Chains A and B, each alone.
Chain A
Amino acid sequence: AQRVTQPEKLLSVFKGAPVELKCNYSYSGSPELFWYVQYSRQRLQLLLRHISRESIKGFTADLNKGETSFHLKKPFAQEEDSAMYYCALSRGNAGNMLTFGGGTRLMVKP
């Protein structure tokens, strides 16, 4: 069975500090992995996906198949990065449904 684990429920850093939100997955097939973000009073939205290999709002995430991880990183956190972050895995079967991790709340302090 597929599973996505985000070990930290809350991550608090100071503005300008590096940030890493951890995500580990278990899946027997070839996963497609995503990071979703929910800012205060906004809808859940896609931040980035591993197949795009892009940097969004300064965030990057590399899929490490050996460690089955997809950690989200940003070298210098900003206050506006404070939000709830969800790592998700697409099983690629009927419906392409997403399996979500438990989420990590990032708080960036001034």
Chain B
Amino acid sequence: SQTIHQWPATLVQPVGSPLSLECTVEGTSNPNLYWYRQAAGRGLQLLFYSVGIGQISSEVPQNLSASRPQDRQFILSSKKLLLSDSGFYLCAGTGNRGYTFGSGTRLTVV
């Protein structure tokens, strides 16, 4: 079965600092991968999705970027964090049995 590994669980970063959140997939080949964000009091918003290595689609304009250097690796990055980037970030993947989610990263930008 598919498992999504995501780290770190929590992160506190100063404004203007870079960001790199990593998501890796176990148990499936060539999954579709997604980055979602949940801001305080709001639902899950799709940020990026990838259907294969090097293929990234962005759903909303923002201060973030994503990359997929390997089939089972999906990275969320920022060169300079903003206060508004604070939130809960979830990585998800689709396999044979639908969506699987990571445990999430709570990012606080101070």
Stretch of A11-19, A56-64, A71-79, A94-102 contacting B (4+ beta carbons < 8 Å): A94-102
Interface of B is mostly: strand
Complex CA gap A98/B92 in Å reads 10
Of B32, B34, B36, B103, which one neighbours A43 at CB under 8 angstroms? B103
Q: Mark B66-110, 1 if CB is under 8 A from A, else 0.
A: 000000000000000000000000101010001101111000000
What's the tally of chain B residues with a CB closer than 8 Å to chain A? 23
A100 B43 Cβ-Cβ under 8 A: yes
CB of A55 within 8 Å of the partner chain: no
Interface centre among B34, B43, B46, B90 (most CB of A within 10 A): B43
| Chain A: number of interface residues, binned into ranges | 20 to 34
B49 A97 Cβ-Cβ under 8 A: yes
CB of B11 within 8 Å of the partner chain: no
Complex CA gap A98/B90 in Å reads 13
| Contact residues of B between 3 and 37, Cβ < 8 Å to A | 32, 34, 36
CB of A68 within 8 Å of the partner chain: no
Who on chain B is nearest to A41 by CB? B103
Interface residues of A (CB under 8 A from B): 4, 6, 9, 34, 36, 43-46, 49, 86, 94-103
10 A-B pairs with C-beta separation under 8 A: A9-B41, A43-B102, A49-B98, A86-B44, A95-B32, A95-B49, A97-B34, A100-B44, A101-B43, A103-B43
Besides A95-B32, A98-B34, 15 new A-B residue pairs in contact (Cβ under 8 A), listed by A number: A4-B43, A6-B43, A43-B102, A44-B90, A95-B34, A95-B50, A95-B94, A98-B46, A98-B92, A99-B46, A100-B36, A100-B43, A100-B44, A102-B42, A102-B43
